[in-house]
């Protein structure tokens, strides 16, 4: 039994202990000052891309949100790329452009729906800004987000900036409460990685790129327009960072099924992304952020495999040594229970995604998340977003 117990403890450490150590490590890094020369006077011309598909419920709010940006109108270009919406999304944007001639608004309509990254690449060909910023139609920015974020891009070493996702409906259900807690720790780790060198995890709600760091979106066809794009940014020896001042707000599904749909899609994309980082590390194709990449490979690729062995040895112990069930008493500790349940869910999704990657299944066309109707005007007014 001793040998099996040692194996069980080893697998438990690599499954759950490494996650905790990684969190503590990045949390300490997040407390340190930036080694970046930010410049608030840096005000380049900006092209904002917003991809749309059947966004009638939210596009009016999005347009009002963009109209409140505290950035010179003559330095902003807004490019909307619609992927054959079956509702009146495009008409709402056209009416907005007519009513706001002071704003440089361009609307493009794809001949067919080919996925978000494809839409963004079409829009990119029509951008004339020195900086290209991307935002989803159901994500909303504080008025000062551009000046806050672009000041970091003044540093020659920084090629891309993203912001932390914040929920507009954190108290809607136990699902949104758990997601809010998850985002708090995830954002902290992204900040720590960014201060060390770079983060490999970007968010489509707000991501800004220097043109010299951005040849195209998702060049490796990972299915992720944000994290997949960052791969090439690091290849070009630019840092990709997440800053707290570029936060954006969105809603999140209040049901477990809605959460699962989003997690499965994003995790599948993450495994595709990590696969490319493995290849680049072997080819010495990345000079910046190697330590961050290696650490994330351990957490997101090795971790699920160790978790699988952990489950097998746990079952074996229970069958061979019934008293081993006492090990499960750890679930009686509330904070530990929440941590283990969230980690277990993520590992199960990661394992599914690894299998999907091996079978070459990918999610390339974006799908509307469940419960989008949770968004209300009052939510946005309370945050000063419209």
pLDDT in tens, 233-260: 999 999 999 999 999 999 999 888 888 8
Selected residue with higher pLDDT from 375 and 363 = 375
Q: Where are the beta strands (DSSP E) in 135-180?
A: 158-162, 165-167
- How many residues are given for the chain? 386
299: Cβ–Cβ under 8 A, 6 or more apart, which residues?
18, 19, 22
Q: Is 333 helix (H, G, I), strand (E, B) or coil?
A: coil
Q: pTM value?
A: 0.88
pLDDT band at 333 (very low <50, low <70, confident <90, very high): low
Does 115 or 130 have the greater pLDDT score? 130
What does the mean pLDDT of the chain come to?
88
Q: By the 8 A CB rule, do 230 and 178 touch?
A: no
Domain 27-289+375-382 has CATH 3.90.550.10: yes
Tokens of 285: 């194709």
Task: Quote the pLDDT of residue 354.
Answer: 81
- Run of H or E including 32: none
Q: Helix axis angle, 56-67 relative to 89-99, nearest 10°? A: 20
Count of Cβ atoms closer than 10 Å to residue 381 Cβ: 10
Residues 6+ apart with CB under 8 A from 50: 62, 66, 78, 79, 80, 81, 134, 135, 136, 137
Closest CA to 47 of 106, 151, 132: 132
Domain ranges of the chain: 27-289+375-382
Which tens digit of pLDDT belongs to each residue from 22-35? 999 999 999 999 99
For residue 9, name the pLDDT band (cuts at 50, 70, 90).
Answer: confident
Report d(CA 43, CA 200) in Å as an integer.
26
End-to-end Cα spacing for the chain: 63
Query: 241, 214 in Cβ contact below 8 A?
Result: no
Strand-pair category, 207-210 with 158-162: antiparallel
Q: What's the pLDDT score for residue 48?
A: 98
């Amino acid at each position: 039994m001793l040998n099996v117990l040692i194996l069980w403890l080893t697998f438990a450490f690599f499954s759950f202990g490494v996650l905790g150590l990684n969190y503590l490590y990045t949390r300490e890094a997040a407390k340190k000052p930036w080694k970046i020369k930010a410049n608030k006077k840096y005000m380049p011309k900006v092209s904002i891309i917003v991809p749309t598909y059947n966004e009638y419920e939210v596009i009016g709010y999005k347009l009002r949100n963009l109209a409140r940006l505290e950035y010179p109108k003559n330095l902003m270009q807004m490019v909307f790329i619609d992927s054959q919406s079956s509702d009146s999304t495009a008409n709402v944007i056209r009416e907005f452009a007519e009513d706001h001639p002071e704003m440089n608004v361009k609307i493009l309509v794809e001949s067919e729906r080919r996925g978000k990254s494809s839409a963004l690449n079409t829009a990119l060909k029509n951008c004339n800004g020195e900086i290209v910023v991307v935002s989803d139609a159901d994500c909303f920015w504080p008025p000062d987000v551009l000046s806050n974020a672009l000041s970091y891009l003044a540093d020659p070493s920084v090629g891309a900036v993203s912001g932390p996702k914040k929920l507009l409906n954190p108290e809607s259900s136990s699902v949104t409460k758990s997601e809010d807690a998850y985002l708090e720790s995830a954002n902290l780790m992204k900040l720590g990685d960014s201060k060390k060198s770079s983060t490999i995890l970007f968010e489509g709600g707000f991501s800004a790129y220097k043109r010299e760091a951005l040849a195209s979106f998702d060049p490796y066809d990972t299915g992720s327009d944000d994290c997949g794009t960052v791969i090439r940014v690091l290849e070009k020896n630019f840092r990709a960072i997440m800053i707290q001042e570029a936060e954006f707000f969105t809603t999140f599904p209040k049901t477990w099924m809605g959460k699962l749909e989003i997690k499965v899609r994003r995790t599948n994309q993450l495994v595709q992304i990590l696969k490319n980082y493995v290849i680049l590390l072997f080819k010495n194709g990345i000079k910046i952020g190697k330590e961050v990449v290696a650490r994330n490979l351990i957490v997101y690729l090795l971790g699920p495999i160790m978790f699988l062995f952990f489950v097998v040895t746990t079952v074996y112990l229970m069958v061979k040594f019934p008293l081993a069930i006492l090990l499960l008493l750890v679930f009686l500790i509330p904070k530990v229970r929440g941590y283990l349940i969230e980690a277990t869910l993520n590992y199960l999704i990661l394992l599914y995604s690894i299998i999907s990657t091996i079978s070459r299944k990918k999610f390339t066309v974006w799908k509307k998340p469940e419960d989008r109707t949770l968004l209300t005007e009052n939510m946005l007014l309370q945050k000063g977003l419209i």
